[in-house]
């Protein structure tokens, strides 16, 4: 089931690392902001499996779960999950629903927090129709992320170069990003002209924090997803970073540099 996979990836922020020691007092104030999952059992979370938790108050949070698991193929795919938050001292409890019948409870016993990172002993429990179907625990670490907005991206961006293995976006690509979360994808032909790729049913994207998530579908094909971390947008240039994994398990870092041309 999709919600089981999503909950399993939420558990994927379990780590064997800690952030700088800090007083955990005033957790209700220090937790406000956007936090992205960082490591899994001492291993970095793949970018396509990142989650972003947004604490807007001491009692309410929202989460963007891994896109390919958290939403179906309907038109409204960016729907952050609303979470009820209860903070008592160093303990933080998040409660929310996945699907119609699945309830999730996450408990964070925070051991360290500063302006950039927090570490906690973490447990997650999923129940369906009142019956426990998934439980996990460990030490979890999140990193606080910068916040970009949809209005930071619209325009036409041409790829200047890519490091690491070339995937769906390569050094022969242009993206025309629109404010409504849709985009056009172009490739340069042999004559040096940019042709719109018309073989796709749609292209869509969203931004949460510094996480940029894209999805597209070729006519008659499956839904495709790809996520990136925005390193910077400055002076008409944009840099993306990602951690990928090949089918054989080999991991590699990937980066893309873009220049705004229109």
pLDDT of the chain along its 262 residues, tens only? Answer: 444 445 555 554 333 333 444 468 899 999 999 999 998 778 888 999 999 999 999 999 999 988 665 555 555 677 789 999 999 999 999 999 987 888 999 999 999 999 999 999 999 999 998 899 989 888 889 999 988 888 889 999 999 999 887 666 667 899 999 999 999 999 988 898 999 999 999 899 999 999 999 999 999 898 889 999 999 999 899 999 999 998 999 999 999 999 999 7
- DSSP class of 48: G
- Give the start-to-end residue ranges of the domains of the chain: 2-144, 150-260
Q: Which helix (H) or strand (E) element contains residue 190? A: none
Q: Fold for 150-260, please state it.
A: Lipocalin (2.40.128)
From residue 84, give the alpha-carbon distance in Å to each of 51, 132, 164, 223: 17, 20, 40, 31
Same fold, 2-144 and 150-260: yes
pTM of the prediction?
0.84
CATH 3.40.630.40 for domain 2-144, yes or no, is no
- Residue 107 bridge partners (DSSP): 93, 123
Which residues neighbour 68 within 8 Å (Cβ) at sequence distance 6 or greater?
A: 48, 215, 223, 225
What number of other Cβ atoms are within 10 A of residue 38's Cβ? 19
Task: Label residue 209 exposed, middle or buried (CB < 10 Å: 0-12, 13-18, 19+).
Answer: buried
Specify burial of residue 83 (Cβ count, 10 A radius: 0-12, 13-18, 19+): buried
């Amino acid at each position: 089931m999709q919600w089981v996979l999503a909950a399993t990836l939420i558990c994927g922020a379990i780590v064997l690392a800690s952030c700088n020691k800090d007083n955990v007092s005033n957790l209700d104030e220090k937790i406000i902001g956007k936090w992205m999952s960082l490591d899994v059992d001492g291993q970095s979370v793949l970018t396509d499996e990142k989650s972003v938790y947004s604490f807007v108050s001491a009692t309410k949070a929202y989460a963007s779960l891994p896109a390919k698991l958290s939403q179906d193929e309907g038109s409204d795919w960016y729907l952050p999950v609303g979470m009820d938050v209860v903070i008592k001292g160093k303990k933080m409890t998040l409660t929310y629903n996945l699907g119609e019948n699945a309830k999730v409870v996450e408990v964070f016993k925070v051991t360290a927090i500063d302006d950039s990172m927090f570490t906690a002993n973490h447990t997650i429990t999923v129940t369906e129709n009142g019956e426990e179907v998934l439980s996990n625990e460990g030490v979890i670490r999140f990193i606080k992320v910068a916040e970009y907005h949809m209005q930071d991206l619209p325009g036409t961006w041409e790829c200047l170069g890519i490091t690491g293995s070339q995937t769906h976006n390569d050094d022969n690509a242009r993206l025309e990003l629109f404010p409504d979360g849709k985009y056009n994808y172009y490739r340069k032909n042999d004559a040096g002209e940019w042709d719109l790729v018309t073989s796709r049913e749609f292209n869509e994207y969203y931004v949460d924090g510094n996480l940029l998530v894209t999805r597209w579908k070729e006519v008659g094909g499956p839904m495709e997803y790809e996520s990136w971390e925005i390193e910077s947008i400055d002076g008409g240039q944009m840099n993306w970073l990602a951690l990928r994994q090949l089918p054989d398990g080999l991991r590699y870092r990937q980066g893309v540099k873009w220049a705004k041309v229109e």
